[in-house]
Amino acid sequence: MKRRRKATILCIDDQWSGLIGRKIFLENSGYQVIEATSAEDGLRLFRSHAVDAVVVDYQMPGTDGAIIASRMKNLKAHIPIMLLSAYGPLPERKLRSVDTFLFKSQPPSMLLSSLDTLLARRDKPFFYRWLDQWKIRNHAGKL
């Protein structure tokens, strides 16, 4: 029986306590986690490591998570990105390069279920991923 590799998640957050808490939670949930405390380190790790998904904080010194996500999507468009923020709601233009958005105040179970969904969707053929994303964005606009 072939054993499936653990998914590797890149977490980027300038607040050390939140970053380490997220890392421990995700590792206890079966993921491998690489962490970065700045946009520059996050981009460097994104380029040099095989990651399956990214969890990035919105508010960071000198830049924001939406800009980081845009740069990452230009490099590897197929990698799903989750944007976290203590502030919100964020304008639609800030969410264009991310696959999902969560408030930091949401329970850890939401982080885990959203991440599981992103990774499951990633395994679908491109058209079905695009269609799922279109449905989500279309439905969100009607709420």
pTM higher than the cut 0.75: yes
The count of structural domains within the chain is 1
Q: What is the pLDDT of residue 141?
A: 45
Neighbours of 1 (CB within 10 A): 3
Look at residue 133 in the predicted model and tell me its pLDDT: 60
Q: Within a domain: residue 109?
A: yes
CA angle (71, 48, 22) in 5-degree steps: 75
User: Is 44 within the bounds of a domain?
Assistant: yes
The answer to whether position 3 is within a domain reads no
Inside any domain, residue 111: yes
pLDDT tens over the chain, length 143 residues = 444 458 999 999 999 999 999 999 999 999 999 999 999 999 999 999 999 999 999 888 888 888 899 899 999 988 999 988 887 676 576 677 788 888 888 888 999 999 988 888 765 556 665 666 666 566 544 44
Q: Report if residue 1 sits inside a domain.
A: no
Has residue 99 been placed in a domain?
Answer: yes
Position 132 scores a pLDDT of 64
Per-residue pLDDT, 2: 41
Tokens 């980081």, residue located? 68
Task: Tell me, yes or no, whether 2 lies in a domain.
Answer: no
> Whole domain around residue 81: which residue ranges?
8-142
17 in a structural domain: yes
